[in-house]
Structure 1
Amino acid sequence: MERLLGKKQQYFYENPSAQIILGDSFQVLSKMKPESIDMIFADPPYFLSNDGITCKGGRMVSVNKGEWDRIGEEATHISDKHRFNRKWIKLCKRVMKPDGSIWISGTLHNIYSIGMALEQEGFKIINNITWQKTNPPPNLTCSCFTHSTETILWAQKADKKSRHYFNYELMKEQNDGKQIKDVWVGSLTKPSEKKAGKHPTQKPEYLLERIIQASTQRGDIVLDPFCGSGTTGVVANRFGRVFIGIDTEEDYLNITKARLEMGLNDKYGFE
């Protein structure tokens, strides 16, 4: 597997189909080979850690996820958040191939900033996917409707010469011969996908299966700049794609490593 960061880069973990890096995404992305990535999936911080409470497994728990999910004080929160989003999206554009594409997941707390940042940094939004969760946690305040959806934006470079890849025939085949709509319905992450450890915002594998199969081909390079517990990498390897993941939290990368190794033992993707 080609080292897109040079021989001096210390990888947290490597195998023939994956590289995971412990470090700041801004620094790592700035050193990565330009126009080397076919597809990016990003689940950036939602900045929800505000000392509030939520419901999980029928119990009231803190919404705080870690220092990585905090930014600024109230007075500067909005501008700091948008500056953060523009910066990492700009760096992703630098490493993405002209015909590549990027998928970004978020909630109402950050997705509007991300949509604006994409356009400001020279991207064209292809689709606005609504992920409808069949088993969302209840709303404890009883002051608004239950939050049961997340948005996933799919975008390409706005250059007129850019032509994103879309496996239309496969998507139609997987949907009984019908076009798939932009509302995807499914459950939260299953306990069986958390055997190696838990991450507070872990995405279910079925979401990444659709995303990766729809917008990449076998052998393509998939990057996740906030890879957390590694769902993107597990699925990418399962379908024969090469994975590069970055995260600042060593505990989460240990989960990623364990999940990737379990995938190799199952002989997914690569021989």
Structure 2
Amino acid sequence: MRHFILGSFHRMSLEKFNKIKQILGEPNLEREGVAIYQMDCLEAMKKLPSDLVDLTITSPPYNIGKEYEELAKLDDYLNWCESWIGEIYRLTKKDGTFWLNVGYLEVADEGLAVPIPYLLWNRTPFYFLQEVVWNYAAGVACKKRFSPRNEKLLWYVKDKKSYTFNLDAVRDPNVKYPNQKKNGKLRCNPFGKNPSDVWQITKVTSGKNRSSVERTPHPAQFPMELVERMLKASSNTGDVVIDPFMGSGSTAECAIRNGRYVVGFELKSEYIGYAEQRIDRYLEDKELASRQESLEI
């Protein structure tokens, strides 16, 4: 019975994934389970019917003058964020989840490095479940203030009483005393400990001697480890995941590595090219590993 139920859920997800492609047309990048469009996410999402998506993971432009964004007045930027987040809410299933990664920006005459969560957290119909601090090792060095080493992840759910949370899938195996017992029972879960609300995950770095293995030319790349923790904790195999600001494709690669369907939007063709390269590289490596395994049997 369990296999039948799981199979039904997979078919429903596939139908929703195909429905998205039917409405939006041929993707600019399509692989099995992956559809990435060179479209404005707000315009694209408005075309889609409600209740299609299990999980959204994204990191939008921070309005700080990066090469992929145009600076806007603060109120215009916040109103724009409220608009596309509102569309995400409409597209999200009742038990669905939204993870939002944002950093800092300057508020004129008010503050130099104001966390965007302070400005955005309540401008959404989602229920704000928790803030997670992403602590990374590398970053700029400052002389007149402390060097910044964190960004925030805002964890939203549509229904505060019913949402996916797979703690065992993301437990931290680094336990100091894993075999410690009390009254004959292990004190620690055999899968590890709860990773808490502070995640120490290395940033995707650049440079001749310190460039990350997963590095692409994208100037603000999502680390795979960060995406994977959000994805595994808040979705299940076969679910539909969306990233309205796909960038270099970290969410897409992570999704197909973990058996999810993924839809993304990206305005810059070169960034879609970066996503294509990394997805194809993963698929090629997967095919080679499969062939090797078949030879060893």
Smaller-chain TM-score bracket: 0.7 to 0.9
- Equivalent residues in 2 for 1:145-224, closer than 5 Å: 145-157=146-158, 159=159, 163-172=162-171, 174=173, 176=175, 177-190=192-205, 191-194=212-215, 197-224=216-243
Hey, what's the Cα distance between the residues in 1 that align with 2:273 and 2:246? 11
Deviations 1:180-228 (CA, angstroms, capped at 9, x unpaired): 210011221152112xx31111011110111111111111111000000
Indicate how the Cα distance of structure 1 residues 174 and 166 shifts in structure 2: closer, same or farther if over 3 A, else same: farther
Hey, what's the Cα distance between the residues in 2 that align with 1:254 and 1:32? 25
**In the alignment, does 2:291 pair up with 1:267?**
no
Larger Rg: 2
Quote the residue 2:99 is aligned against. Answer: 103
**In the alignment, does 2:123 pair up with 1:117?**
yes
Q: Which amino acid aligns with 2:219?
A: P
Quote the residue 2:277 is aligned against. Answer: 258
Where in structure 1 are there 5+ consecutive unaligned residues?
50-64
Write out the 4+ residue segments of structure 1 that deviate beyond 4 Å after TM superposition. Answer: 173-176
2:77 to 69, 81, 94: 81
Where in structure 2 are there 5+ consecutive unaligned residues?
1-13, 106-115, 176-191, 206-211, 291-297
Q: Which amino acid aligns with 2:139?
A: P
Query: Is the 1:202–1:229 contact (alpha carbons within 8 Å) kept by the matching residues of 2?
Result: yes
Count of matched residue positions in the alignment of Structure 1 and Structure 2? 240
Quote the residue 2:244 is aligned against. Answer: 225
Indicate how the Cα distance of structure 1 residues 43 and 92 shifts in structure 2: closer, same or farther if over 3 A, else same: same
Query: Is the 2:23–2:47 contact (alpha carbons within 8 Å) kept by the matching residues of 1?
Result: no
Indicate how the Cα distance of structure 1 residues 102 and 230 shifts in structure 2: closer, same or farther if over 3 A, else same: same
Hey, what's the Cα distance between the residues in 2 that align with 1:150 and 1:6? 37
Hey, what's the Cα distance between the residues in 1 that align with 2:218 and 2:24? 30
- RMSD of aligned residue pairs (Cα, Å): 1.9
Quote the residue 2:64 is aligned against. Answer: 48
Query: Is the 1:189–1:204 contact (alpha carbons within 8 Å) kept by the matching residues of 2?
Result: yes
Q: Which amino acid aligns with 2:214?
A: E
Hey, what's the Cα distance between the residues in 2 that align with 1:106 and 1:144? 20
2:42 to 13, 21, 26: 26
Hey, what's the Cα distance between the residues in 2 that align with 1:209 and 1:48? 26
Deviations 1:236-255 (CA, angstroms, capped at 9, x unpaired): 11111111110111110111
Hey, what's the Cα distance between the residues in 2 that align with 1:152 and 1:232? 15
TM-score using structure 2 length:
0.76
Hey, what's the Cα distance between the residues in 1 that align with 2:241 and 2:87? 15
Indicate how the Cα distance of structure 1 residues 7 and 117 shifts in structure 2: closer, same or farther if over 3 A, else same: closer
Query: Is the 1:237–1:263 contact (alpha carbons within 8 Å) kept by the matching residues of 2?
Result: no
Query: Is the 2:21–2:27 contact (alpha carbons within 8 Å) kept by the matching residues of 1?
Result: no
